Amino acid sequence: MKTRLTELLGIEVPVICGGMMRVGTAELAAAVSNAGALGIMTALTQPTPECLKAEIEKCQSLTDKPFGVNITVGVVASEVNYQDYAKVIVESGVKIVETAGRSPEPFMPFFKAAGIKVIHKAVTVRHSLSAERVGVDVVSIDGFECAGHPGEQDVGGLVLFPAAAQALSIPVVASGGIADGRGLAAALALGCDGINMGTRFLATKEAPVHEGIKEKIVEMDENQTQLIFRKFRNTARVYRNTVAQKVAEIEAAGGEFKDVHSYVSGANQEKAWSTGDIEAGMVTAGMSGAFVDDVPTCQELVDRIIRDAKTIINERLAKIAS
């Protein structure tokens, strides 16, 4: 399946496993890339630039296919020297970078001089256009259904995806609410050049999270997520557990971030991911969990998505059109 995205990035199918904090390791990225899609490691999952260098080398030993590294700016509380991480990415020979958070503009000359293709994650058409102007190669546009931070505009993918594709001249990747071949076929029909999935790749054999978390994703329906941090204009979509509900209650009562910090701390998140106790901390998940009903390998998942998308396009839609 060829699109502008596959041609630009040198991948076989227009599917990306977006960077996921704590989850974007060498093993998962390599498994996704070996399946013909694009796996992405997360730079800040590694505590130091030196650790990132070692993790990139591990990924390079596990796959000879293209993979990327995510660098998300301005979302961690501690002081981070992003330039040091960027330097490691360039010096390691990585040729694809996914940026998120703040504008990628400060990094663009550095990345472009190294021949790196830049995918920028955005949540509005306005920010997507800004990213295009500073020279990114691809925009990954997050609809309201996505896990993590959907922004404050609340525009769903059915509107946001074609709006971005219409406004931009560079390839657009649909992100949020997609977990199967139906989502890929829909994204292509809406003018996008590929899809980005996070929650769906969480529930794969290679994802480095506890089996208990994967089981909960399989059990999800479309109502099993909750928006938190809306009061702080840093809205996040997470799994609806007792932690998320408590945070929402504190926000509704006029609480400040300091009042919810203990519930959403990194330590509690790590406990949930590593022990499988879904109630232990904040767990990021998107509405697409409603479409997850098994835990395949990355290869099995990618093959299924492409097969199902082709069937929809070549048989069902062609039959309707004729």
Convert the pLDDT of each residue in 3-20 to its tens digit.
Answer: 999 999 999 999 999 999
**Domain of residue 112, CATH code:** 3.20.20.70
Task: Tell me whether residue 214 is in a domain.
Answer: no
Four-CA torsion 29, 35, 37, 38, nearest 10 degrees: 20
Task: Tell me whether residue 219 is in a domain.
Answer: no
Verify that 267 and 304 share a domain, yes or no. Answer: no
In which band, very low, low, confident or very high, does the pLDDT at 322 lie, cut at 50, 70 and 90?
confident
Task: Tell me whether residue 49 is in a domain.
Answer: yes
Verify that 131 and 231 share a domain, yes or no. Answer: no
User: What is the pLDDT, as a whole number, of residue 256?
Assistant: 95
Beta strands in 199-286 (DSSP E): 225-228, 236-239
Distances (CA, A) of 210 to 27, 56, 204, 222, 223: 15, 23, 11, 22, 22
> How does pLDDT run across 253-302, given as a tens digit for each residue?
999 999 999 999 989 999 999 999 999 999 999 999 999 999 999 999 99
Task: Tell me whether residue 18 is in a domain.
Answer: yes
Q: Is the pLDDT of residue 207 over 90?
A: yes
Using CA atoms, how far apart are residues 30 and 14, in angstroms rounded to an integer? 16
Verify that 52 and 150 share a domain, yes or no. Answer: yes
Verify that 157 and 237 share a domain, yes or no. Answer: no
Range of the domain at 83: 4-209+295-321
Question: 266: Cβ–Cβ under 8 A, 6 or more apart, which residues?
Answer: none
User: What is the pLDDT, as a whole number, of residue 79?
Assistant: 78
User: What is the pLDDT, as a whole number, of residue 78?
Assistant: 62
Q: Supply 88's token pair.
A: 């490691």
| Domain count for the chain | 2
Q: pTM (2 decimals)? A: 0.95
Q: Supply 307's token pair.
A: 């097969």
Verify that 33 and 141 share a domain, yes or no. Answer: yes
Using CA atoms, how far apart are residues 157 and 119, in angstroms rounded to an integer? 18
